[in-house]
């Protein structure tokens, strides 16, 4: 398993328990959708995995996280990105005053070497040709969809084994959502594993092989995407009806 997370607990400021038993496995080259209602802990989970919990207060208190065979709890964001975990945060967070090219260059600082950096740049510009057209423009002038592409492209510049995507479709027009979804498919087809947080459950189910549902900081369902989609379990969990504790965990 590329990523193995078991019973992870995270608190903010010692008081807010954002995660209280999150478990998720992501196989090499797999796509896992992380679903759950607002406040379920999805963003916190991605931040814990990429070492970007707020410096002020966010803390992993218990649990196991292993990435590529090594325990990764407590590693810095810089170490984790070099180990192969790239995070595209919610709200894209491109550097608005820097050009598209410089945003990509910043992502490439974590690439293993110059040859891999050049290959990653070619790959990103093939995936998102609009970034090549706009490479001299400040990132802040791009549309929301283009900024999302740039944020994903910047993350890919580090040559990740695992890409963490937080709400990539948020606020995008339907056509742009489709283009981002296709890009996610293409990225995965080239061997990069993906953990995808998405409010758009339909999109997430169409991209993922596996689904993990979080509720109030805990993993309450793990299953194959096709089975979860067919079984109507998701509506039950996301619409807030009581979860049957006897529901078996589907095969992972």
Helix, strand, coil: what percent of the chain each, to 5? 40, 25, 35
**Structure tokens belonging to residue 60:** 């992993």
Q: 52 or 103: whose CB is closer to ligand ATP? A: 52
Phi-psi label, residue 20: left if phi above 0, alpha if psi -120 to 50, beta otherwise: alpha
> In whole angstroms, how close is the CB of 48 to ligand ATP at the nearest point?
9
Q: Distance from first CA to last CA of the chain, Å, rounded?
A: 11
Give the x/- contact pattern for ligand ATP in 219-238, rule: CB under 6 A.
--------------------
Whole-angstrom distance, CA of residue 96 vs CA of residue 78: 21
> In whole angstroms, how close is the CB of 144 to ligand ATP at the nearest point?
17
> In whole angstroms, how close is the CB of 114 to ligand ATP at the nearest point?
36
Stretch that binds ligand ATP, among 24-32, 33-41, 114-122, 234-242 (CB under 6 A): 33-41
Whole-angstrom distance, CA of residue 249 vs CA of residue 246: 9
The helix or strand, by DSSP H or E, that contains position 25, with its residue range, turns out to be strand 16-26
Q: 47 or 134: whose CB is closer to ligand ATP? A: 47
> In whole angstroms, how close is the CB of 54 to ligand ATP at the nearest point?
5
**Structure tokens belonging to residue 20:** 């209280």
Helices (H) and strands (E) in the chain, counts: 10, 10
According to CB under 6 A, which one of 21, 30, 36, 63 is a site residue for ligand ATP? 36
- Contact call for residues 152 and 168 (beta carbons, < 8 A): yes
Q: Under the criterion CB under 6 A, does residue 12 sit at the interface with ligand ATP?
A: yes
> In whole angstroms, how close is the CB of 12 to ligand ATP at the nearest point?
3
Stretch that binds ligand ATP, among 36-44, 106-114, 126-134, 142-150 (CB under 6 A): 36-44
Q: 61 or 109: whose CB is closer to ligand ATP? A: 61
Q: How many CB atoms lie within 10 A of CB 117?
A: 20
Give the x/- contact pattern for ligand ATP in 37-56, rule: CB under 6 A.
-xxxxxxx---------x--
- Contact call for residues 110 and 82 (beta carbons, < 8 A): yes
Q: Under the criterion CB under 6 A, does residue 16 sit at the interface with ligand ATP?
A: yes
List residues binding ligand ATP (CB under 6 A): 12, 16, 18, 36, 38-44, 54, 57
């Amino acid at each position: 398993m590329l990523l193995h997370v078991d019973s992870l607990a995270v608190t903010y400021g010692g008081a807010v328990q954002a995660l209280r038993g999150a478990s998720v496995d992501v196989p090499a080259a797999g796509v896992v959708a992380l679903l759950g209602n607002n406040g379920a802990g999805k963003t916190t989970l991605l931040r814990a995995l990429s070492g970007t919990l707020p410096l002020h207060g966010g803390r992993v208190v218990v649990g196991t996280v292993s990435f590529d065979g090594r325990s990764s709890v407590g590693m810095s964001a810089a170490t984790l990105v070099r180990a192969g975990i790239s995070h595209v945060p919610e709200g894209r967070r491109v550097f608005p005053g820097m050009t598209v090219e410089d945003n990509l260059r910043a992502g490439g600082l974590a690439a293993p070497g110059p040859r891999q950096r050049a290959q990653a740049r070619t790959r990103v510009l093939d995936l998102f040709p609009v970034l090549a057209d706009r490479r001299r423009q400040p990132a802040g002038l791009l549309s929301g969809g283009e900024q999302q592409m740039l944020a994903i492209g910047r993350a890919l510049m580090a040559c990740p084994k695992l890409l963490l995507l937080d709400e990539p479709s948020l606020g995008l027009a339907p056509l742009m959502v489709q283009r981002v979804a296709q890009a996610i498919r293409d990225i995965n087809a080239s061997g990069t594993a993906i953990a995808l947080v998405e409010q758009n459950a339909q999109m997430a189910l169409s991209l993922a092989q596996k689904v993990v549902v979080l509720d109030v900081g805990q993993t309450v369902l793990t299953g194959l995407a096709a089975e979860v989609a067919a079984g109507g379990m998701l509506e039950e969990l996301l619409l807030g009806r009581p979860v049957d504790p006897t529901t078996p965990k589907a095969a992972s």
